[in-house]
Structure 1
Amino acid sequence: MLVAGFPAGSFQANCYVVAPAPGEECVVVDPGQDAAGGLDDLLREHRLKPVAVLLTHGHIDHVWSVAPVCGARDIPAWIHPDDRELLSDPGKGFSAQAGQLFGGLEFSEPDDVRELSDGATLNLAGLDITVDHTPGHTRGSVTFRTPLRDDTQDAEVMFSGDLLFAGSIGRTDLPGGDYAEILRSLAKTLTLPDETLVLPGHGPQTTIGRERATNPYLREMAPHSGPSRGL
């Protein structure tokens, strides 16, 4: 299996490509701000052909480039219906004051948008990708899981979006955020095996076991309040 990625734009949101192997079809996860150039480099390097874009949620730092990426390759974008409106109106994902930052920019949906549902399995690019609805950071946040196999393990990789980071969790103080709900989503996610590889929307990779043991927001699963800083 091939997984590669890079932090895109000023938000440094991780954009990933996932394929069974080099030279095959792939899916793109979260093409954020100015992601098109870095994505083209990865596709050329590994000789990959995208067949779909998967979006963990609708915040602008994760969907900024989705329309041009999909349009250039005539491929669909998948997003949960609760976040779909953010594709064309990203200001709704921020406070009124912060939303004004995007007032002079125009965004639109890709021509082909398909909606995700909890528990669905997507069969794309030779991969079986499980969708888990994990609201709390936004109403339509999801994670994606797919088997990750090599000579030494048989586990899964999870693209966690802004649900779970190395050492932290997603903020819940933006429109659509809900701290109690993200705790429920995290509790469900923490039932995965320790060896599950976590590729978050920002920052370095981690594992479920490492976060269960060391993440201060997960240690008792009910800390006093969630983070209100960061992305």
Structure 2
Amino acid sequence: MFLASFPSGAWQANCYLIAAAEKAECVVIDPGQDAAAMVARLVAEHGLVPSAVLATHGHFDHVADAAQVADSYGIPVYIHPSDRHLLADPAAGLDPGGAALVRNLIGAVMAEPAEVRPYPDGMLAVAGLEFEVLPAPGHTAGSVLLWVATDEHPGVERIAFTGDVVFAGSVGRTDLPGGDQPTMLRSLREVVLTLPDRTALLPGHGPQTSLANERLHNPCLQPDFLRN
């Protein structure tokens, strides 16, 4: 399996490229602000052929370059229908300060990718990989986890791309438009904490971690927090 990641943009959101092997089809996960150039560089260096862009959710820092990446390779963008509107209206998902920054950067609207597809229920098969799409609303209405099997990393059964649902030591905020704290708590209890401990968590910001580590040490995954 090939896996690469890098942070990009003003909010340093993690973009990921994953493929079943080098010199193979790949998917691009969360190409945010200024990610397109590095995506092109990694694709060229490793002989990859992009097959799809996958968005964990619709916030600008995760999808700002989704149209540029997808349209340059003639591939679709997959996103949950509840967040699709954010592809063209990024300010709708931000607080006033963030919305003003985005408007200064790009204006009021973005161009939607040429081809946008909703995630299927259950499994998404693309580029020789099978992602289980796990809806996990709360940070946004359309947040998802993308869960994929791997047998190449000792001690790791699966990888979960978690977007802004859960990070190393924290979880996503719920005070932005489309966020909802009770819904987030339910997603943490019923989606995140039901994953196997041997799941590597690759979040939208910050370092990777594991479900086992977060179950023990993340204060937002402890019973007292989850009962709030």
TM-score by length of 1: 0.92
CA–CA separation in structure 2 for the residues paired with 1:186 and 1:90: 25
Measure the CA separation in 1 of the matches of 2:9 and 2:45: 20
Question: Do residues 204 (structure 1) and 207 (structure 2) align?
Answer: yes
CA contact (8 A) 1:183 1:221 kept: no
SS in 2 for 1:33: coil
Within the candidate set 158, 182, 191, 2:160 is matched to 158
**Cα deviations by residue, 1:192-214 (Å, 9 ceiling, x for unpaired):** 11110000000000000000000
**Structure-2 residue corresponding to 1:31:** 31
Partner of 1:61: 61
Provide the rounded CA distance (Å) in 2 between the counterparts of 1:154 and 1:205: 12
Aligned length: 224
Structure 2: any 5+ residue segments left out of the alignment?
none
Q: Secondary structure at the match of 2:6?
A: strand
Query: How far does residue 150 in structure 1 lie from its aligned partner after superposition?
Result: 1.8
Show the 5 A alignment for 1:49-198.
Answer: 49-104=49-104, 105=106, 106-117=109-120, 119-150=121-152, 152-153=154-155, 155-187=157-189, 188-198=191-201
SS in 1 for 2:225: coil
SS in structure 1 opposite 2:147? strand
How far residue 219 of structure 1 moved from its aligned partner, in angstroms, is 1.7
RMSD between aligned residues: 1.6
Per-residue deviation, residues 74-132 of structure 1 (Å, max 9, x unmatched): 00000000000000000000134542333352411101000124x42111000011101
Take 1:97 and 1:12, find their aligned partners in 2: how far apart are those partners?
A: 17
Structure 1 CA distance for aligned equivalents of residues 227 and 145 of structure 2:
25
Query: Secondary structure, in 3 states, of the residue corresponding to 2:201?
Result: strand
Which is worse superposed, 211-220 or 100-109?
100-109
Question: 2:200–2:208: 8 Å Cα contact kept in structure 1?
Answer: yes
Q: Which letter maps to 2:102?
A: F
The separation in 1 between residues aligned to 2:110 and 2:98, in whole angstroms, is 16
One-letter amino acid of the structure 2 residue matched with residue 38 of structure 1: M
Question: Would the alpha carbon gap of residues 186 and 221 (structure 1) be closer, same or farther in structure 2, given more than 3 Å must change?
Answer: farther
Conserved in 1, the CA contact under 8 Å of 2:219 and 2:225?
Answer: no
Q: CA deviation at 1:164?
A: 0.4
Q: Which has the higher helix share?
A: 2
Structure 1 segments unaligned to the other structure (5+ residues): 226-231
The answer on 1:219 being equivalent to 2:222 is: yes
Which portions of structure 1, spanning 4 or more consecutive aligned residues, are displaced by more than 2 angstroms? 95-98, 100-104, 151-154, 221-225
Q: SS in structure 1 opposite 2:213?
A: helix
- Compare 27-36 and 216-225 and name the one that shifted more: 216-225
- Residue 168 (structure 1) shift: 0.4
1-structure distance, mates of 2:195, 2:8: 28
Instruction: Give identity over the alignment, percent.
Output: 48
1: CA distance, partners of 2:79 / 2:219: 30
